[in-house]
Structure 1
Amino acid sequence: MPLFKVIKASNKLGGAKMEVKEVSKDKNMIVREYLFDKNDIARLEDKAVAELNRKRYHIEGFRPGRVPKEVYKLRLKEAFYEIYVADEAIKEVENELDKEELQLLLPPVIADAKFSAETGKVVVELHTEPEVKFEPAKLKLRKAKEEEVLDGYVDMRVNYVIEENAVLEPKDGQAEEGDLVKVKETVMLGEKKLRDAEEREYVLLKDDEREVVKQLFGRKKGDVVEFEKTFEKGDDKIVYKYILEVEEVYNRILPEFTDEFVKSLAIENVETTEQLKEKFRTEGKEIYDRELAESYRAQIMDQIPEIAEIEISEKTIERAVENIIDNLKEGGKYESYVQNYGSEEKLIEELRNYYLNMIKKDLVVKKIAEENNIKVDAEDIKAYAERVSVEWGVSPDRAEAIIKSRQDIRNEVVMEIVESKVAKILAEKAQIEEVSFKEQENKQEVEEEKKSE
């Protein structure tokens, strides 16, 4: 068996013959040699001279841009071939590789380039995309019971409407469970006022763990409450002083949830308690479906690296990690990363794992997207913009304009949309466990009761 195979016996580069050999293959990494004969060298010499003159390389005694080839050879000696002729050869090799439209994980790596007046060679590493094996049936997804979630959402929305329409009745006594307390709130950090007598309202509920709420139980109109709260920031402790002036205490009278109450809300096409609940259930179903899809996407993307199998060369991983480290150094972040991970060895191991997981995820997403002809169109972008506009604090049109005008943001959005479409397909083939959070809460309560006995 030959140690290498000839890929192209007569590959025309700029009108010249050139032999290309595949000298080795390690999983996804292919090593090629591009061989240049004497005729190729003569052509590359002319190209090197033209480039040197274009850059107006200065040699004493000659006009810049008009230096003859033989003078360059004489003055630059071996460097003429090792640097300048080699550069021209590498450009030609890179142009040919661009024409092949190879599916690569990394840009082609020029591993070596040796040139003389007689011959030359460029050695290239091609880190191709490996085949990926993935079994969607191995995915294990969890979802909350739909009816349980929707019932909880309806109850929450009904309670909110009732609370929102409570009648407030001033009271002279102490603030109790369910009362609303109106205060002027001042917050001090040292001598600096972060809040200065800002008007705030608090509903007193025993389940509310906020210190400001706890401090208002038992207070009356005219009382002034002072307390301190300490926060830790690294090794430092920051102490905030709160001053609450109780302006009013209100007894909240909650309306009964009746058809008459619902009619008073003047909601279009809603006149009964059942109609209002159905409206909330429909609203909750939209939220549930959207959040379930996002949950599935996150779960699937997390599980892909464990399930996917690829044959990838160690050299590919090494090259990728080197690139990441170079980027960290250029950005001045490398030392802080080493410090965070404790040593260079631990950082490199983490970067290896990060790269492998990322590649597995990207290859699976690409494979499923191609198999199912998944595309991202203008309507997808528009729908995404409408969904995130509230989070971004802008209008849907403005969100869409931002996505279209910023290539980095657009790339992230397109990838997220593709991942969501891929996840939808994979979820149909996955194992899905339905989880009751009520049952889990009940179990926890029982266990806590047993411990306290």
Structure 2
Amino acid sequence: MKKIVNYKVSGEEWTKAKDEAFAKIVKKAKVDGFRQGKVPRSVFEKKYGTGDIISEAMEKIVDAKYGETIVKEKLIPVVEPKLEIEKANDDELEFKITFILDPEVKLGEYKGLKVKKEKVKVTKEEVEHEVGHILDRYAELVSKDGAVEEGDTAIIDFKGFKDNEAFDGGSAEGYSLEIGSHSFIPGFEEGVVGMKKEENKDIELSFPEDYMAKDLAGQKVVFNVTVHDIKKRVIPELDEEFFKDLDMEGVTNKEELNKVVEEEIKTQKEHDAENKYIDDLLEAASKNMTIDLDEEIVDAEVERMYKEFTNRLKMQGIDEELYFAYAKVTKEKVKEDMKKEAETRVKYRYLLEAIVKAEKIEISEKDAKAELKKMAENYKMTEEDLLKEFNNSLEVLKYDLAMRKAIEVLKENN
């Protein structure tokens, strides 16, 4: 919901604002023949004009009018208000502020939605597949005779040449190359397949046209490669030694391992099913809700999501610009792709807030503190450190708990 407020400041009010602005600016003004801060206004305006005075006065007036409106109209902007200056001169100031407020929400039917929760089932194939992953993690690389094959790891030296000159970043010694990992440009791994120990050969290739390094993109190159060793992955037997290395509590044989794996898969599937069930309930209830969302609110959510995204990149040690180059996307495209999810998140948030209001859900200080203590124990953190995750505000935790209770209302009344 938008509220546009127009302002016009002139006469004595505007004159006073400019006088106060000049009194502030003149303290730093330097004019030959005058001490700093003692420059007469006429001299100042002749040298510098009135632009800085008007700008300073305008800033102070806008801040004051904004604060007055917020208090008088009891407004709670949900995103940064939009300021538009329509006129600013020696005689008057005219501007308008567009306040973006929470939209009006009309709850539809949110009970008796008849949403079905998926039943969880774990198959024998899924258990075997996961056990296979565990065995793969404990696999050893063992030297072999013969030629390099798909799945092998070749220990190689390589050096890349462009126009008979070695290029930067194209060389390494004792490099472990897993055939099938596709970690090199197309054709490199295929060129190594079939080579034997201590064999040397030249592999002629071309870099992809869209390669990140522009000086190499689309260029023909030659890699001189020597294979020093060839290793194959050896999957361990499910014997006593393996289970000793596995060191999994209560697991000493294949049957016990299968049982533990089955429970882990089941737990994960139940977690996923629960999340999908909640999403399906929110989707069904939101379809019955009437809400007119301002684009600015969705855009603000996109910005928040984008910040989360870049923070995750930083935690992984990935440079933002390097990611865009590698993924062949732009910042604008990433944000555009986030827009649909951002709109859904915002709708669900307003839906749950409306349910909290309709159901008169309240979270007491006592309940919030009890939950904080419980969470701190679960995460093995101090309550003080955990509260920082809620912006050091118990009110944020109360809000979170209220939203959770609203979800429980949907589930219990489905």
Q: Which amino acid aligns with 1:107?
A: P
Shift of 1:93: 0.9
TM-score, normalisation: structure 1? 0.48
Residue 233 in 1 paired to residue 205 in 2? no
Match of 1:280 in 2: 261
For the residue of structure 1 that corresponds to 2:121, the secondary structure is helix
Match of 1:243 in 2: 225
Flag the 1:305–1:188 CA change in 2: closer, same or farther, 3 A: farther
* Aligned ranges 1:134-149 → 2 under 5 Å: 146-148=120-122
Residue 362 in 1 paired to residue 346 in 2? yes
For the residue of structure 2 that corresponds to 1:56, the secondary structure is helix
1:63-92: per-residue Cα shift (whole Å, max 9, x none)?
Answer: 775789999999999999977766654343
For 1:299 and 1:131, locate their aligned partners in 2 and report how far apart those are by CA, in whole Å: 23
Q: 1:53 aligns with which of 20, 23, 37?
A: 23
Q: Which amino acid aligns with 1:52?
A: F
Shift of 1:129: 3.2
For 2:287 and 2:337, locate their aligned partners in 1 and report how far apart those are by CA, in whole Å: 11
Flag the 1:264–1:103 CA change in 2: closer, same or farther, 3 A: closer
Equivalenced residues, count: 340
Q: Which amino acid aligns with 1:131?
A: E
Shift of 1:254: 5.7
Q: 2:4 aligns with which of 20, 31, 34?
A: 31
Shift of 1:277: 1.3
Flag the 1:103–1:253 CA change in 2: closer, same or farther, 3 A: closer
Q: Which amino acid aligns with 1:365?
A: R
Residue 197 in 1 paired to residue 174 in 2? yes
Match of 2:65 in 1: 93
For the residue of structure 1 that corresponds to 2:99, the secondary structure is strand
Q: 2:157 aligns with which of 186, 192, 195?
A: 186
For 2:130 and 2:177, locate their aligned partners in 1 and report how far apart those are by CA, in whole Å: 23
Q: Is the 8 A contact 1:259 1:273 kept in 2?
A: no
For 1:297 and 1:358, locate their aligned partners in 2 and report how far apart those are by CA, in whole Å: 17
For the residue of structure 2 that corresponds to 1:102, the secondary structure is coil
Identity of aligned residues (%): 16
For 1:108 and 1:168, locate their aligned partners in 2 and report how far apart those are by CA, in whole Å: 62
Flag the 1:165–1:237 CA change in 2: closer, same or farther, 3 A: same
Q: Is the 8 A contact 1:226 1:242 kept in 2?
A: yes
Shift of 1:232: 0.7
Q: Is the 8 A contact 2:206 2:221 kept in 1?
A: yes
Q: 2:101 aligns with which of 128, 133, 145?
A: 128
Q: Which amino acid aligns with 2:352?
A: I
For 1:102 and 1:267, locate their aligned partners in 2 and report how far apart those are by CA, in whole Å: 54
Residue 212 in 1 paired to residue 193 in 2? no
Flag the 1:89–1:247 CA change in 2: closer, same or farther, 3 A: closer
Shift of 1:296: 8.4
Can you give the 5+ residue segments of structure 2 that lack an aligned partner in the other structure?
211-216, 301-320, 322-327, 357-361
1:40-82: per-residue Cα shift (whole Å, max 9, x none)?
Answer: x445534432331232177999977578999999999999997
Q: Is the 8 A contact 2:148 2:193 kept in 1?
A: yes
Match of 2:303 in 1: none
Q: 2:76 aligns with which of 102, 120, 144?
A: 102
For 2:58 and 2:153, locate their aligned partners in 1 and report how far apart those are by CA, in whole Å: 79
For the residue of structure 2 that corresponds to 1:184, the secondary structure is strand
Q: Which amino acid aligns with 1:368?
A: L
Cα RMSD over matched residues?
Answer: 6.8
Shift of 1:110: 4.4
For 2:160 and 2:126, locate their aligned partners in 1 and report how far apart those are by CA, in whole Å: 39
Q: Which amino acid aligns with 1:186?
A: D
Shift of 1:126: 3.0
Shift of 1:155: 1.7
Q: Is the 8 A contact 2:282 2:348 kept in 1?
A: no
For 2:125 and 2:203, locate their aligned partners in 1 and report how far apart those are by CA, in whole Å: 36
Q: Is the 8 A contact 1:153 1:280 kept in 2?
A: no
Q: Is the 8 A contact 1:30 1:128 kept in 2?
A: yes
Q: Which amino acid aligns with 2:81?
A: P
For 2:38 and 2:233, locate their aligned partners in 1 and report how far apart those are by CA, in whole Å: 96
Q: Is the 8 A contact 1:223 1:245 kept in 2?
A: yes
Flag the 1:42–1:258 CA change in 2: closer, same or farther, 3 A: same
Shift of 1:276: 0.9
Q: Which amino acid aligns with 2:208?
A: E
Match of 2:129 in 1: 156
Q: Is the 8 A contact 1:130 1:310 kept in 2?
A: yes
